[in-house]
A and B are shown apart, each in its own frame.
Chain A
Amino acid sequence: MNDREINELKNLLKEALPPMRDSHPGRDLWPATLERLAAPPPGMPWWDWLLMAGASGTILFVPGVIPALLYHL
């Protein structure tokens, strides 16, 4: 792949997705940021707890899966 080919692709991309310069937020974002700060931090969803419990149980009762788990991590 040479510079000419990269430039051709660059031109195609810029035609399909024009650069987005000089954008400004359409509103003042400070009130929403303050609101977000005041909200309690999101807790862990129940399915994550379930997944964690399942993984812990598997590791505890079938320690042979640890290498396989580590491999997939």
Chain B
Amino acid sequence: MELLERFAAGDVEAFEALFRQHQCEVYRWIVRVVRDRAIAEDLTIETFWRMYRAHARFDAARGNCRGWLRRIATNAALDHLRRTRREVPLPDDPADAPKAPAAERSELRQTILSAMNRLSPRLRVAVVLALIEEEPYDAIAEALGISVSAVKVRVFRGVRILRKELSASGVRA
């Protein structure tokens, strides 16, 4: 029996094989959305947990495990952003922090982080993936389960809100 069929039947060994195949990719996708490595690890576990619980609903004949997983991962990340919207001001990873620590630059950075944090999670995810990570619109659409034009609308709305917020803070964007 094929790996995907075995997984759909609930075989844990097949699940482990799929986990090994896809864990890095799922993690990389989530870390781009939540921008925190420890949280991305937890959400990767959550994603595979959700995947296994839904094994009976997986259509092995269609075989699009990657797309399905990415969708689950995006939903897990969105759920996390919704839960922590008021608590976490978009954590910035020290390993990826800009190298020039000038006070002005740091202040600008904080202003941008605050403006991003005020976006709704669904707009924030679209903006981060499209503008910062430069993911293709069709990949974002597949991950969010919406059309490409809906992604473009979300990015446009997010950009408009961000520009407004940044202008109000005296940043020319």
Q: How large, as a class, is the contact surface on chain A?
A: 20 to 34
| A36/B45 in contact, CB under 8 A | yes
Would you call B104 an interface residue if the criterion is a C-beta within 8 Å of the partner chain's C-beta atoms? no
Residue among A8, A17, A30 making CB contact with B19, cutoff 8 Å:
A30
Residues from chain B with a CB closer than 8 A to the CB of A63 are none
Would you call A14 an interface residue if the criterion is a C-beta within 8 Å of the partner chain's C-beta atoms? yes
Residues from chain B with a CB closer than 8 A to the CB of A30 are 16, 19-20, 23
Would you call A25 an interface residue if the criterion is a C-beta within 8 Å of the partner chain's C-beta atoms? yes
Interface size of B in residues (CB-CB distance below 8 Å): 47
Residues from chain B with a CB closer than 8 A to the CB of A25 are 23-24, 27, 40-41, 44
| B162/A9 in contact, CB under 8 A | yes
Would you call B87 an interface residue if the criterion is a C-beta within 8 Å of the partner chain's C-beta atoms? no
| B108/A16 in contact, CB under 8 A | yes
CA distance A52 to B61 in the complex (A): 39
Closest Cβ–Cβ distance, residue A42 to chain B (whole Å): 11
CA distance A34 to B18 in the complex (A): 13
| B35/A20 in contact, CB under 8 A | yes
Residues from chain B with a CB closer than 8 A to the CB of A41 are 53
CA distance A27 to B67 in the complex (A): 24
Residues from chain B with a CB closer than 8 A to the CB of A21 are 28, 133
Would you call A6 an interface residue if the criterion is a C-beta within 8 Å of the partner chain's C-beta atoms? yes
CA distance A12 to B171 in the complex (A): 10
Closest Cβ–Cβ distance, residue A1 to chain B (whole Å): 7
Contact with A along B9-25 (1 / 0, CB 8 A): 00010001001100110
Contact with A along B92-117 (1 / 0, CB 8 A): 11001110000001001100110010
Name B135's closest neighbour in chain A (CB-CB).
A19
Check A17/B27 contact, CB under 8 A, given A23-B40, A25-B41.
Answer: no
Spell out B's residues near A (CB within 8 Å).
Answer: 12, 16, 19-20, 23-24, 27-28, 31-32, 35, 37, 40-41, 44-46, 48-49, 52-53, 90, 92-93, 96-98, 105, 108-109, 112-113, 116, 127-128, 131-134, 156, 159-160, 162-163, 166, 171, 173
Q: Given contacts A9-B163, A21-B28, list 6 more A-B pairs with CB under 8 A.
A: A6-B159, A13-B162, A15-B109, A16-B116, A17-B35, A17-B113
Spell out A's residues near B (CB within 8 Å).
Answer: 1, 5-6, 8-10, 12-27, 29-30, 32-33, 36-37, 41
